[in-house]
A = this chain, B = another copy of it.
Amino acid sequence: MITTIQTGGVCAPLGFSAGGVHCGLAKQPDKKDLALIVSEVPCAAAAIYTRNKVKASPLAVTKAHLADGTARAVICNSGNANACSADGEAVARGMCRAAAQALGISPRDVAVGSTGVIGQPLPLEKVAAAAPALKAALEDGWGGSDAAARAIMTTDLSKKELAISFVLGGKTCRLGGIAKGSGMIHPNMGTMLAFLTTDAAVSAPMLQKALRDVTEDTFNMVSVDGDTSTNDMCVVLANGLAGNPIVDAEGPALEDFTGALRAVCTHLAREMARDGEGATKLLTCTVEGAPDTRTARVLSKSVICSNLFKAAMFGADANWGRVLCALGYADADFDISRTGVCFASAAGSVEVCKDGAGVPFSEEQAKRVLGEKEIDIRVSLCQGGGSATAWGCDLTYDYVKINGDYRS
């Protein structure tokens, strides 16, 4: 039984506080650009990182700091990716040190993330100077999570945040998360930045297992533009203050926890897709009846990655041939001659393709269905029990505008 907590985000779990300040890395003078999340007590920690061979420096430092499976805090800036910069690792370690000094903990208990422009030196002195103010800004209520969630946004238009409660070993536990997405979104065993907190007691290895399982069908099923970022990272901290018997092995309790984690990550992944750069529509492609899950994942992701299809959705054009085309060039084996496609939204649904060929449909009804802000693309393969869902967004003039001159 999973219940949404209306406010709280990463501060909803017991013992966590968070905050955000402006330290001067963002171009806008008042934009919060430095976030901190802290637990009162040590946490089991797990993380997943981008598979891009070009990895931003904070990822290497976080990986080293989380090697012992514990952490207490996350510091993260926006406005600069700290990637492809000569002294990047020293800067990332310096950010951990600044947070640790302000909090009176070890730098090895701090995870660090960055997002923003690649290849420009990150001025560490701005972070160091802001660390005391950042500590002073910590709040354990809704305001703290809100400030942290806003401080990690770049071109995001909306804050991504959720908290839920669930029962584990007879105890009510809470799990919250914040994330940023928007552009360069095509995670591969990682995500854009997502930070999750829970007061459930879960061992580090089980936390890592749950995170890996959940990432496969949440963050890894989102694509805004097919570009896998250098900075993708998802960190989860579990401080055990809920008092449940620790989840330290596979079994029903881990499954319950994984379900809770999946609920929060699914929400954050969907919100990333909805708020893709320039997006006007959330696209959800579900492939059912696939020979296996992998096939369903590859096919659903191929559809939401197709520029041609994304542009058609922007124009509310029921060009289902582009769906078949994208299915056809995906790296998967299936029988196209049994494939059906249906578009659906709050305005109804319209079947456009059956057995691999077009069926007559009302263009008027199709325009109505595709005129909505949330479009479902349902693909039925009728050749097995595998299914998967991928999320994306339309390709618009504004995507081009935003990315035509991002740095200036």
Whether A230 sits at the interface, judged by CB under 8 Å, is yes
Binding site for B on A (CB under 8 A): 51-55, 81, 83-86, 117-120, 183-184, 186, 188, 225-230, 305-308, 311-312, 314-322, 324-329, 334, 336, 353, 356-358, 395-397, 399-408
A225 CB contact (under 8 Å) in B118, B308, B328, B336: B308
**Contact assessment for B119 and A86 in the assembled complex, using a CB-CB cutoff below 8 Å:** no
Name the B residues within 8 Å of A120 (CB-CB).
358
Chain B nearest CB: distance from A273 CB in Å? Answer: 15
Q: What CA separation (Å) do A397 and B55 show in the bound complex?
A: 31
A117 CB contact (under 8 Å) in B86, B227, B321, B336: B321
- Knowing A54-B327, A404-B315, the reply to whether A119 touches B357 (Cβ < 8 A) is yes
A328 CB contact (under 8 Å) in B53, B319, B395: B53
**Contact assessment for A54 and B227 in the assembled complex, using a CB-CB cutoff below 8 Å:** no
A-B contacts besides A227-B329, A311-B400, A395-B403, 19 pairs, CB < 8 Å: A53-B328, A53-B334, A54-B324, A54-B327, A117-B319, A118-B322, A183-B308, A184-B322, A186-B329, A226-B226, A226-B306, A226-B307, A228-B328, A312-B403, A315-B403, A317-B408, A395-B400, A397-B397, A400-B400
Specify the chain B residue showing the minimal Cβ separation from A335: B53
Chain B nearest CB: distance from A309 CB in Å? Answer: 8
Name the B residues within 8 Å of A183 (CB-CB).
308
Residue of A54, A353, A408 with most partner-chain B CB within 10 A: A54
A53 CB contact (under 8 Å) in B184, B315, B327: B327
Chain B nearest CB: distance from A351 CB in Å? Answer: 13
Q: What CA separation (Å) do A319 and B227 show in the bound complex?
A: 14
- Knowing A53-B328, A227-B329, A404-B312, the reply to whether A119 touches B320 (Cβ < 8 A) is yes
**Contact assessment for A84 and B357 in the assembled complex, using a CB-CB cutoff below 8 Å:** yes
Chain A interface mostly helix, strand, loop or mixed?
A: loop
Residue of A51, A329, A358, A397 with most partner-chain B CB within 10 A: A329
**Contact assessment for B326 and A84 in the assembled complex, using a CB-CB cutoff below 8 Å:** no
Chain B nearest CB: distance from A8 CB in Å? Answer: 34
**Contact assessment for A314 and B400 in the assembled complex, using a CB-CB cutoff below 8 Å:** yes
Chain B nearest CB: distance from A361 CB in Å? Answer: 11
Q: What CA separation (Å) do A317 and B229 show in the bound complex?
A: 18
- Knowing A307-B226, A311-B404, A400-B396, the reply to whether A358 touches B84 (Cβ < 8 A) is yes
Q: What CA separation (Å) do A117 and B370 show in the bound complex?
A: 19
Chain B nearest CB: distance from A327 CB in Å? Answer: 7
Residue of A184, A324, A353, A404 with most partner-chain B CB within 10 A: A404
Specify the chain B residue showing the minimal Cβ separation from A356: B84
A336 CB contact (under 8 Å) in B54, B226, B403: B54
Name the B residues within 8 Å of A405 (CB-CB).
312, 315-317
Residue of A226, A307, A324, A353 with most partner-chain B CB within 10 A: A307
Q: What CA separation (Å) do A408 and B51 show in the bound complex?
A: 41
**Contact assessment for A336 and B184 in the assembled complex, using a CB-CB cutoff below 8 Å:** no
Chain B nearest CB: distance from A215 CB in Å? Answer: 16
- Knowing A81-B321, A403-B311, A405-B315, the reply to whether A119 touches B328 (Cβ < 8 A) is no
Specify the chain B residue showing the minimal Cβ separation from A224: B307
